Structure 1
Amino acid sequence: MQAQTINSTNPAVEQHVFSLWEILFSGGLVGNLIMISIFILGALALYIFLERYFFIKRAAKDTPDFLENIKDFVEGGRIQGAIDYCKATDSPEARMIEKGLTRIGRPISDISNVMQNQGQLEVSKLEKNLNILASASGAAPMLGFLGTVIGMIMAFFQISNVTGAVSPKLLASGIYTAMATTAVGLFIGIPAYFFYNILVTKVDRVVLKIQTHVNDFLDTLNKPL
């Protein structure tokens, strides 16, 4: 008996190659606009973080013996020399003390007030654009969630127009495409949130350093001769 050879062929299994680009930008016009907006927020957040980080780092840099030199100038009666020394020192506390030096001879309350006003300007410089960074950390996930909701609505709308059985592939592709915006929004928003808190902490440290220098300067002026 001759054995019969049976050739069995397995049905071809369609494999979908993972494509990050396709997942990110396959949500239609509205989804793509939302995705681009999230990436723009991410780029803006990164730029603000780097620019503020190095700006605050320069402001936080210690100037060795700065206050001691100011005390020597004041005690020696060389007020103009102290003012010139402050102008040559690029730091927030130097600019505040410079304002106070220009008011020497007036009541100590006037000196303190003018230094506080200058201090508010210096703090506003340090905190510049931090509100934008905070907004980006919250807006990116919200935009992502909005994209997901819109994508899910569109996906289920397409499914509702399908006659007969709904293909699981159609359902799955619509869902993962819609959820991509939420994933990207969280991917942008979480680092932006940490960036914001890092910068706020650094600003607080600089403000504490400024207050310490200003208080020491005022103590020098109040020191009895």
Structure 2
Amino acid sequence: MAGGWALAPILVCSAMALAIILERFWTLRRKAVIPPELGEQVRAWARTRKLDPSHIDTLSKNSPLGELLAAALNVRNRPREIIKERIEDTGRHVVHRLERFLNTLGTIALISPLLGLLGTVIGLIRMFLAVMVHGIGDAQQMAGGIGEALVCTALGLVVAVPAYVFHRFFRSKVAGLVVGMEKEATSLLDELAAQSAAETAAAPGGTVRAVR
């Protein structure tokens, strides 16, 4: 109450920031995004040809990494360039979902101090207008009014600093997860390319016959 009406949007920003931080902590768990051993398991499936549409569909719903690998498997019989392009296209959508709400968190970190400053300025204007009407009066009361006006600035910073820290933290975490997914996708791409090369070599008129 000491901060006045300008404190209300700061409290709303605080609640939103807390909700986003908790949601992102849960969603961006490494084992949820890149399940352990999933990449090796998918490569084993590809080697043994144990793949069917329902299998691939289940994989795509497993996790962000599963969605990326499933996209590659859907076009596994195409040239390497097409598989790579499909992985990149799907990867952009996956990364967009991993970065969900992070722009909002960054905006909260940016506007919270401004809202606090606005509340402080409004509070000081009201106080000085009261001084113009009623005189200085009690200096101690005036100092208390200034202190109340500064409450908004303090609370704005209290909200902004953690929001900014977690915004940078989650950005870094997403970047690390993307690198991990790229590594797994590249390994699967190499596996599919090796299989394609082996099939070409074994086919009539392929490399095997040329070697002979």
**Structure 1 length-normalised TM:** 0.79
Contact 2:56 2:74 in 1 (8 A): no
Deviation of 1:86 after TM superposition, in Å, equals 6.8
State the identity as a percent: 28
Instruction: Give 2:123's aligned amino acid.
Output: G
Give how far 1:85 is off. 6.0
1:201-223 per-position Cα deviation (integer Å, ceiling 9, x unaligned): 21111111100001111111222
> Where does residue 49 of structure 1 map in the other structure?
21
Matches of 1:191 and 1:52, distance apart in 2: 14
Letter matched to residue 180 of structure 1: V
8 Å contact from structure 1 (residues 140, 188) kept in 2: yes
Q: Deviation of residue 187 (structure 1)?
A: 0.9
Q: Is there any run of 5+ residues in structure 1 with no aligned partner, and where? A: 1-24
Of the structure 1 ranges 152-161 and 38-47, higher mean CA displacement relative to structure 2 is found in: 152-161
Separation in 2 of the partners of 1:136 and 1:26? 22
Q: Please give the residue correspondences for 1:1-225 in structure 2 after superposition, counting only pairs within 5 Å.
A: 25-27=1-3, 31-32=4-5, 34-57=6-29, 58-64=31-37, 66-80=38-52, 84=55, 87-88=58-59, 90-163=62-135, 166-223=137-194, 224-225=197-198
Q: Letter of the aligned partner of 2:108 in structure 1?
A: A
Tell me the residue number matched to 1:8.
none
Which structure would you say has the larger Rg? Answer: 1
Alpha-carbon deviation of 1:113?
A: 1.1
Q: Give the Cα separation in 1 of the matches to 2:163 and 2:39.
A: 36
More helix by share: 2
Amino acid at match of 1:208: V
**Whole-Å Cα distance in 2 between the matches of residues 36 and 157 of structure 1?**
23
For residues 86 and 201 of structure 1, do their structure 2 counterparts lie closer, same or farther at Cα, with a shift above 3 Å needed? farther
Distance in 1 (alpha carbons) for counterparts of 2:57 and 2:180: 16
Aligned AA for 1:26? A
Quote the offset at 1:105 in angstroms. Answer: 1.7
Cα shift at 1:116: 1.1
Mapped partners of 1:94, 1:61: distance in 2: 8
Question: Paired residue for 2:210?
Answer: none
Change (3 A) 1:75 1:26: closer
Q: Where does structure 1 differ by over 3 angstroms across 4 or more consecutive aligned residues?
A: 58-62
Deviation string 1:173-192 (CA, Å, 9 cap, x unpaired) is 22011101001111111111
Q: Spell out, residue by residue over 1:150-204, the C-alpha distance to the aligned partner (whole angstroms, 9 max, x if none).
A: 11111111112224x5421232122011101001111111111112122112111
Task: Please give the alpha-carbon distance, in whole angstroms, between the structure 2 residues aligned to 1:70 and 1:62.
Answer: 12
SS at match of 1:161: helix
| Alpha-carbon distance in structure 1 between the residues aligned to 2:129 and 2:49 | 82
Q: Which digits, 9 at most, give the CA deviation of each residue in 1:122-173, with x for residues without a partner?
A: 111111111111111111111000100111111111112224x542123212
Question: Offset of 1:38 from its aligned partner?
Answer: 0.3
Aligned residues: 194
Instruction: Check whether the contact 1:99–1:115 (CA below 8 A) recurs between aligned residues.
Output: yes
Q: Is the 8 A contact 1:141 1:186 kept in 2?
A: yes
How far apart are the structure 2 equivalents of 1:158 and 1:109? 73
